[in-house]
Amino acid sequence: MPPPEPRLPLLTRALIGPPGLLLLPVCALTGLLLLYGVSVPGGYFGLLLLGGFAGLLLTVVWLPRFVVGLIREDGRPGLRRHWVRWAAAPVMAAAVIGLVAFDVPWTVRFAASEASLERVAKDVSAGAEPEGGTRWIGLVQVSSVTRADGGVAFRLADAGFLDSHGLVWSPEGAPQENAPSTYEHLDGPWYEWTEGW
């Protein structure tokens, strides 16, 4: 009868073992944090900074473990046996990168909020006094609503770093460009605006 294989030291087991109950949920939460951070024009700077740091930290933890598992002979069987757990983090990262590259978070958030935003825009355009203060309209948090040349401007709360970002409802066509504001057509009568400083 062959002698039992010696138990590997704890650090070695941690380095060649598959991602576990802590790493994978943290990867998922980091991905969600990053997706929420880019779900408005200009993004939420603080969340993006935190999510970027967490993503970098997760990469620094996952990648060496994977490389050690590939290099060590006693690590390769674990890679094959637990391939789903090893693949989960890069698949989540690729999904987040793909969703961000195609601007899916903002597109979905705007589509879900468009009817509510348009209702407020039509009311304000018809003469109703806009409510003051920061509030939610649909899934979009706005800090102010104001009448603009033939339309209504919504300033997004906490969006961007140095620049202000918002939406303009302008059924009469593109708003007049006036520095430092720029406009980009979004959909129908909607435009994204950025106001530099």
One domain for residues 122 and 65: no
Q: Is residue 3 part of a domain?
A: no
Q: What is the mean pLDDT of residues 143-172?
A: 92
One domain for residues 97 and 132: no
Question: What's the pLDDT at 24?
Answer: 93
Range of the domain at 148: 107-195
Q: Is residue 5 part of a domain?
A: no
Q: Of 53, 74, 102, which residue sits at a domain end?
A: 102
Q: How many domains does the chain have?
A: 2
Across 2-6, 54-58, 81-85, the highest mean pLDDT is recorded for 54-58
Dihedral over Cα of 20, 25, 26, 32: its sign: positive
Q: In this model, does residue 96 exceed pLDDT 80?
A: yes
Q: What is the mean pLDDT of residues 170-183?
A: 85
Quick check: 72 and 16 in contact, CB under 8 A?
yes
Q: Of 40, 67, 102, which residue sits at a domain end?
A: 102
Q: Is residue 90 part of a domain?
A: yes
Q: Is residue 2 part of a domain?
A: no
**pLDDT per residue over 97-141, tens digit each?**
999 999 999 999 999 999 999 999 999 999 888 888 899 999 999
One domain for residues 57 and 134: no
One domain for residues 17 and 83: yes
β partners of residue 154: 145, 167
One domain for residues 112 and 169: yes
One domain for residues 186 and 111: yes
Distance CA 22, CA 14 (A): 12
**pLDDT per residue over 34-62, tens digit each?**
999 999 999 999 999 999 999 999 999 99
Q: Of 51, 68, 102, which residue sits at a domain end?
A: 102
Quote the crossing angle between the two packed helices 83-101 and 45-71, to the nearest 10°. Answer: 150
